[in-house]
A = this chain, B = another copy of it.
Amino acid sequence: MTHTGDVSPDEFRAVAHAAVDWIAEYLEHPERVPVKSRVAPGDIRAALPTSAPIHGESLDAMLRDVQQTLLPGITHWNHPAFFAYFANSGSYPGILGELLTAAINANGMLWVTSPAVTELEQVTLDWLRQLMGMGDGWFGQITDTASISTFYALAAAREAAGLDVRARGMSGRSDMPTLRVYCSEHAHSSIDKAVIALGLGHDNLVKIPADADFRMRAGALDAAIRADIVKGYRPIAVVATVGTTSITSIDAVPEIAAVTKMHGCWLHIDAAYGGVAAIVPELRHILDGVDDADSIVVNPHKWLFTPVDCSVLYTKRPEALRQAFALLPEYLVTRGQDDVVNLMDYGIQLGRRFRSLKLWMVLRAFGADGIAERIRNHCELAREFAGMVHYEGGWELTAPVPLSLVCFRYAPDGASEDRIAQLNADIMERVNARGLTYLSHTKLAGKYTLRLAIGNIRTAREHVELAWRELRDAAAIVSAM
């Protein structure tokens, strides 16, 4: 056969083999590179040509450029001492899955355009559901990020309110009450973005005060909803969080579910980071009450060793998602397959990568026990680190440690809040600049707080101990400045 050509198979073979060897070498020793990139803004851009080549170049040259030119501009999420934000892991089975996904390059927009894409996604998400101890009756789909998963959930909630927003919209309608959504003051910014994007208005996202342990209070939620109803507002949805971003606090889902049920609101659970911890038998309780929710998001690309991107949205009411999104133009009509799931009906995206393959491989490669062991180990390391902080003079924990994140800070006796904030910002900057470990920060009730988030599959005790040495050394230096 003739073709107009591609890169030659032999060139691909040679460079892909070299890439595989480089990847294995890189992932065996990710601690050899500085965890946080040291380039200045514009450095990478300046090192690259300003326009595409006229003639084709060799794959070999590109692999070299990745290694030499781009790698210094990478902040290494693979580094075992990456403790910023929420650490993640692109594990070997996940990388293999992505390689095969790219090669097969199926678009699973309809069942018929690759039945295995739809069916493996459904099977894999059912496996994951069982692993987390959730009951039957959940419909799962993969999206790219938790932000999109939550956006879809709230779009379904808006439609389920029975105001025919789909057809008639919300603008220019005298019969349209002000719709309101509720979440914890510690909920993730993706809730804000979803409410804004849906046209509900940021002012109509009500932030409910948390208790001393940073958990959304069901009583305060109920009171807020009642007050809004009195004002003529229409409460449509509540988002509870299992593992908040700043502190991994866990909202009291069972009590919150009772409130949402009473008021007829959609209950969405943001368990993007924390949800997978329920795979550990003794942590299963973190998802207590979730089976009474309408939807939940968990992100395998955070703490489940799956390369970004991979977020999972489960719902008990898939028909509400269909009602919000399904549309069938003639060019997508298929004959004789009326009973199959076409995943395009459950969201905005039409094109769909074979995203489940990597997750399926991760679940199989580690197995239920292997996953639980690794997540359990992360939580143990977090408790050990918390212990070190707790018993060290001048340092304090700023929140409980229910999972694998520790919130803490350097707070020498007598220092003002402002001074403490400055000291900790300086400590973090110094530690991160040294390149051996990487942390991030937050503020809790006005208190500047450091965060040590354990979630990388290669993180061991030595890396946590290293971070602790780095922090104390930096504290000694910045205190003396």
Contact = CB atoms under 8 A, between A and B. Distances in A.
B99 A1 contact: no
A91 B7 contact: yes
A89 B26 CA distance: 29
A4 B147 contact: no
In the complex, which of the residues A96, A301, A370 has the most CB atoms of chain B within 10 Å of its own CB atom? A96
A197 interface: yes
A437 to B, nearest CB: 14
Contacts of A337: 41
A202 B364 contact: no
Given A92-B11, A99-B23, A366-B56, A351 B309 contact: yes
Contact of A155 (B16, B179, B197, B299): B197
Contact of A111 (B41, B123, B170, B330): B41
B357 A309 contact: no
Contact of A172 (B56, B98, B177, B202): B177
A115 B42 CA distance: 9
Interface in A39-87: 39, 41-45, 48, 50-57, 59, 61-63, 66, 70-78, 80, 84-85
Interface in A128-175: 128, 130-131, 144-148, 151, 155, 158, 165-174
A21 B195 CA distance: 47
Contact of A443 (B28, B51, B155, B330): B330
Contact of A189 (B90, B131, B167, B329): B329
Contact of A364 (B53, B85, B203): B53
In the complex, which of the residues A6, A39, A196, A366 has the most CB atoms of chain B within 10 Å of its own CB atom? A6
B170 A104 contact: no
Contacts of A158: 199
A106 to B, nearest CB: 5
7 contacts: A2-B462, A19-B100, A20-B99, A101-B307, A169-B200, A169-B201, A309-B351
Contacts of A172: 176-179, 232-233
Interface in A298-341: 299, 301, 305, 307-309, 311, 324-325, 327, 329-333, 335, 337, 339-340
A159 B365 CA distance: 46
Given A75-B115, A90-B105, A115-B75, A331 B57 contact: no
- Pick the 8 closest A-B CB pairs, nearest first: A169-B201, A172-B178, A73-B116, A90-B105, A199-B199, A98-B102, A12-B92, A44-B119
A120 interface: yes
A441 interface: yes
A350 interface: yes
A109 B94 CA distance: 20
A193 interface: yes
A210 interface: no
Nearest to A232: B172
In the complex, which of the residues A2, A73, A174, A179 has the most CB atoms of chain B within 10 Å of its own CB atom? A73
A51 to B, nearest CB: 5
A239 B71 CA distance: 39
